[in-house]
A = this chain, B = another copy of it.
Amino acid sequence: MTEKINWLRDEEPSGYQKLIGYEVTDWREGYAEMILPVRQELTNRAGDLHGGVLATLVDSVGGFAGCFCNVEGNVRRCLTLTMSTSFVGPVKGGTIKAIGQKQGGGRRVFFSSVRIVNEDGSLIATGEGTYRYRGNSGSPEGEPLE
């Protein structure tokens, strides 16, 4: 698992990932975790974490959950078809964690459920995403990064 994360890091994070500042902390078949330190740049006019940040985490971690690849040098990629988020509890600041779990699907489309929690484990948001695999990424072997 650690190696996978290293592979991921070898692949430069996206511009948007760097802008928002989230980091992948766990990645396995059907599962991914990301953490994000809350900072002032991510807040809305009321001073709370902007919902768009939480939606970003739902979209991202749900996609990662379906794209773990266990073949060295290969990757799996997907497009988001649709995503939804429910904002169920307050963000308490500090570092939040997003947990994505693949829920089913096939070679072309997969589904993920996401939970986002505070440092104390209390629930901030739930979400769901539907994704389409790019190219042959529906196979666990993925395809060469290029």
Contact = CB atoms under 8 A, between A and B. Distances in A.
B44 A55 contact: no
B56 A42 contact: no
Tell me if A's interface is mostly helix, strand, loop or mixed. mixed
A79 to B, nearest CB: 7
Interface in A80-133: 80-89, 103-105, 108-109, 111, 113, 123, 126-128, 130, 132
B86 A82 contact: yes
Nearest to A127: B128
Interface of A: 11, 13-20, 40-46, 50-53, 55-60, 77, 79-89, 103-105, 108-109, 111, 113, 123, 126-128, 130, 132, 134
